[in-house]
Structure 1
Amino acid sequence: MKTTLSSLALKEEGDGLSKELELYFQNKFSSQKAQPNSLLIDEPYISAWESYAADSTSGNAFSILKMCYPQLNFPIVEGINKTEDYVDTVLKGKNATDKRENTLNLIDPDGIEINIFESIAGKVPVIKVPNNQDFKQIVQSLLYKNNPISIPDSMGAILINGINNWHRLHSLKQDWLANNPLETWNEEFAKNVLPNSGLFKDRIIILSTKPYSNVTASSLAISESEWKLYSFSIRLEHECAHLFTLKKYGSASNNLHDELIADYIGITKTIGYYNMDWMLAFMGLENYPTYRKGARLENYLVSSDLSFENFEKLTSIIKNAIKNIAGFDDELGKVDSANDQIARIDALCKVSVLEIASENGKHLLLIKYKEAISKEFI
């Protein structure tokens, strides 16, 4: 029986691993599901968002967002998503223009911006929310149906995949009825619209402007102004990496494998190289083996009641993975093209976290990178 570097690596890092962690560290990026890079094209919602971005001016971006996502017209209240008004408005698209006494109580709605960013996965709408409390409320509204779910301070961005845009849907209905006045919209919707969710669902990125991973500038020995710029760039590139893996591999999950990949891209695209010390700090491992409680790593734990032994093993694996990713980056040098960036992401996707963290992790990444870069890219 042939023994490969990959199988040796899995055995090495998998020794003594609990079933819980074995399942957690299974690689979710399947090469069999991978789409060619040529298919990473702009989707139907982009043209609408280009219009929104063009129409947005200082102070009116939030009004445009409320027009698209009527849940932003509701306050953050436990169980509000079960009320008749919410169901009619958000799930059925009725009463979207009705005025309500209680809505989201944002501190700086005028500071919100809508932009279109050109990423390796195509264009993507980016919503910049400068106030931290406003960011949390918007995430609670769009992601948690206006329920007061706690948002960790270490969370500063989110890629929302497949959210209904009622403005697009109403516009589609109006255009269709104008051209088909004698036909039934409900029949058209069930037959031709509902099966084609790209006609009315969006993928958007929402970004805060706070320090990345809730890590202070002083702890990284850089200026506040510099760290603010770096934080925004890392955050944006990080979410675009998630968008790439979602479109190419069909996966972008709340998992440390995804985060290692996305942070690698965020850091290297921002400062030109992978800073291992920054990455350890982002995960709360700057003083390993001591872990800084409340750090971002907790956002991706397999469960909230992970045993001490499992947590200790997990942090060891992540620390070793970060070290080997740093060696991989040192070997390759600065990212010099979109093809180079895509090949690095492909390598990081195809090598599991346990393999990356192994003694041969750097070598395995370089093998997969060379395979990827040798293929024809767009």
Structure 2
Amino acid sequence: MIDQHSLRSHVLADFGATAAQAQELLVYNQNIFNHNTLNHSIQFPLPPEAHLAAWEEYALAARVLGTFEALKRVLVQLKFPIVEGISQTQTYRDATRKGVAVDGMTEATGLVLQQPQKLQLLLHQSLAGTIPVLLTENRDDFVSLVQALTKRNEPQAIPASMGACMVSGFNNWDRIRQYRQKWEAESFANRYPSSWQEEFQQLIPQKELYQDKFIILSGGSYSNVSAKDMELEESQWQRLSLTIRLEHECTHYFTRRLFNSMRNNILDELIADYRGIVVATGFYRADWCLRFLGLESFPDYREGGRLQNYRGQPPLSDGAFEILQALVKAAAENLQCFHAEYSEDLTDTNMQPLMLMGLTFLTLEELASQEAKFRIQQTLDKLQTVFTV
């Protein structure tokens, strides 16, 4: 059988890629999901990660104080406003990098939200385990939260087509403080500052003890696509949008936990949109996925579609980006054909995680090829013989 690299090269040639464009796309579309650490007796949903215990405490506090007030007490970034250059100040660095208390810091005037009372903290059960979700219906508040928690409180632009953000590797100083309090209570000798510095160095490699994963989610139309364009009632589209957006982000969490990868890449997005659409509607619609990405009038691309958010670093050339658009269209349509043919099997709860796992073994070129159905089925057959889910 032809090897994967040769197959990908043939597919790119069939789609009209020049040698230079093919080389760009072979690099961009390289599959980097790490499948070597998979446990062959996986049980879904996966057990919760260590940080969930702290977020369960935050959820309890949120019921009493309100979500925003409860989180401002524990997430240091929420104690600072969105101001250009603030991340370069010494006080901000001390607070976010060293865990220095913000009391008395003149810059710590607090994050400003338009509708703080509407911020919600949900603990959502996903295939990859329960994950905290910060949900706001206010677009400006969503942008502010993303800037505070992922952009170091800098006013960096957030694309209008972006309605959710998966946060991973978030250093939670509240958990570190809780760890220190518990550790110091174990022995009087632990109360010396020098002892804590030694313990802190031991703590740093154990990232599960202080790094969190959570989702920031907005209300509104998915991918900034209107209900009119979807030919749906506004209320119906808002409900569907929330489900698609949430399951989309949970799929990124799924690949991050299982395969140690969660990229700003179109393959990740195809897989995540597949899951979101299927959960929301019960079946997969390629036309929805293509509209979300700006490809509803292919070969014309709609400026502002999500696809341009995943052009890569360095960005794909214009020619390679056009080939990418054609690959995405073919892949989405092939995925719809496969799902339609095996829809009964794919509704089985055991098959749903296997399907997501299976898609991570493939490349965009394979999904866009004429052999896509065979490749997906072959991968699923292998997974079913290896994994007990």
Fold match by TM threshold 0.5:
yes
Aligned counterparts of 1:306 and 1:29: Cα–Cα separation in 2: 21
Measured after TM superposition, the shift of residue 96 of structure 1 is 3.4
Partner deviation per Cα, 1:109-167 (whole Å, 9 max, x = no partner): 11111111111111111111221011111111111111111100100111111111122
Aligned counterparts of 1:304 and 1:7: Cα–Cα separation in 2: 22
Name the CA shift for 1:305/1:120 in 2 (closer, same or farther; >3 Å).
Answer: closer
Aligned counterparts of 2:27 and 2:151: Cα–Cα separation in 1: 26
Name the CA shift for 1:196/1:38 in 2 (closer, same or farther; >3 Å).
Answer: farther
Aligned counterparts of 1:115 and 1:197: Cα–Cα separation in 2: 23
Q: 1:26 maps to what in 2?
A: 30
Compute the RMSD of aligned alpha carbons: 1.9
Name the CA shift for 1:217/1:304 in 2 (closer, same or farther; >3 Å).
Answer: farther
Q: Is the 8 A contact 2:8 2:26 kept in 1?
A: no
Q: 2:373 maps to what in 1?
A: 362
Q: Is the 8 A contact 2:334 2:373 kept in 1?
A: yes
What code does the residue aligned with 1:117 have? Answer: H
Determine helix, strand or coil for the equivalent of 1:88.
helix
Alignment of 1:94-133 (within 5 A): 94-98=100-104, 100=106, 102-133=109-140
Count of equivalent residues: 375
What code does the residue aligned with 1:356 have? Answer: L
Measured after TM superposition, the shift of residue 231 of structure 1 is 0.6
Determine helix, strand or coil for the equivalent of 1:23.
helix
1:189 paired with 2:194, answer no
Q: 1:64 maps to what in 2?
A: 70
Q: 2:312 maps to what in 1?
A: 302
Determine helix, strand or coil for the equivalent of 1:94.
coil
Aligned counterparts of 1:11 and 1:177: Cα–Cα separation in 2: 59
Q: 1:287 maps to what in 2?
A: 297
What code does the residue aligned with 1:86 have? Answer: Y
What code does the residue aligned with 1:292 have? Answer: R
Aligned counterparts of 2:267 and 2:154: Cα–Cα separation in 1: 28
Measured after TM superposition, the shift of residue 69 of structure 1 is 1.8
Determine helix, strand or coil for the equivalent of 2:63.
coil
Residue identity (%): 36
Unaligned 5+ residue runs, structure 1?
A: none
Q: Is the 8 A contact 1:120 1:338 kept in 2?
A: no
Aligned counterparts of 1:110 and 1:58: Cα–Cα separation in 2: 12
Aligned counterparts of 2:388 and 2:236: Cα–Cα separation in 1: 34
Q: Is the 8 A contact 2:29 2:364 kept in 1?
A: yes
1:134 paired with 2:141, answer yes
Name the CA shift for 1:268/1:259 in 2 (closer, same or farther; >3 Å).
Answer: same
Deviates more, 1:31-40 or 1:348-357: 31-40
**Aligned counterpart in structure 1 of residue 249 of structure 2, from 224, 239, 243:** 239
Q: Is the 8 A contact 2:24 2:316 kept in 1?
A: no
What code does the residue aligned with 1:134 have? Answer: D
1:86 paired with 2:85, answer no
**Aligned counterpart in structure 2 of residue 347 of structure 1, from 358, 365, 368:** 358
Partner deviation per Cα, 1:223-270 (whole Å, 9 max, x = no partner): 110111111111111111111111111101000000000000011011
1:14 paired with 2:18, answer no
Aligned counterparts of 1:296 and 1:155: Cα–Cα separation in 2: 8
Q: Is the 8 A contact 2:244 2:276 kept in 1?
A: yes
1:199 paired with 2:198, answer no
Determine helix, strand or coil for the equivalent of 1:203.
strand
Q: Is the 8 A contact 2:294 2:306 kept in 1?
A: yes
Q: Is the 8 A contact 1:75 1:105 kept in 2?
A: yes
Aligned counterparts of 1:249 and 1:376: Cα–Cα separation in 2: 15
Aligned counterparts of 1:278 and 1:116: Cα–Cα separation in 2: 28
**Aligned counterpart in structure 2 of residue 156 of structure 1, from 156, 163, 166:** 163
Q: 1:45 maps to what in 2?
A: 51
* TM-score, scaled relative to structure 1: 0.94
Q: Is the 8 A contact 2:9 2:22 kept in 1?
A: no
What code does the residue aligned with 2:178 have? Answer: S
Q: 2:81 maps to what in 1?
A: 75
What code does the residue aligned with 2:100 have? Answer: K
Q: Is the 8 A contact 2:264 2:312 kept in 1?
A: no
Q: 1:211 maps to what in 2?
A: 221
Q: Is the 8 A contact 1:59 1:112 kept in 2?
A: no
Q: Is the 8 A contact 1:12 1:358 kept in 2?
A: no
Aligned counterparts of 2:315 and 2:198: Cα–Cα separation in 1: 49
Determine helix, strand or coil for the equivalent of 1:158.
strand
Aligned counterparts of 1:69 and 1:48: Cα–Cα separation in 2: 12
Determine helix, strand or coil for the equivalent of 2:189.
coil
Unaligned 5+ residue runs, structure 2?
A: none
1:275 paired with 2:273, answer no
What code does the residue aligned with 2:8 have? Answer: L
Aligned counterparts of 1:88 and 1:78: Cα–Cα separation in 2: 17
Aligned counterparts of 2:69 and 2:244: Cα–Cα separation in 1: 28
Name the CA shift for 1:346/1:142 in 2 (closer, same or farther; >3 Å).
Answer: same
1:372 paired with 2:378, answer no
Partner deviation per Cα, 1:305-360 (whole Å, 9 max, x = no partner): 64332221110011111111111111220543432111111111111111100111
Aligned counterparts of 1:170 and 1:86: Cα–Cα separation in 2: 18
Partner deviation per Cα, 1:280-302 (whole Å, 9 max, x = no partner): 10010101111100111111112
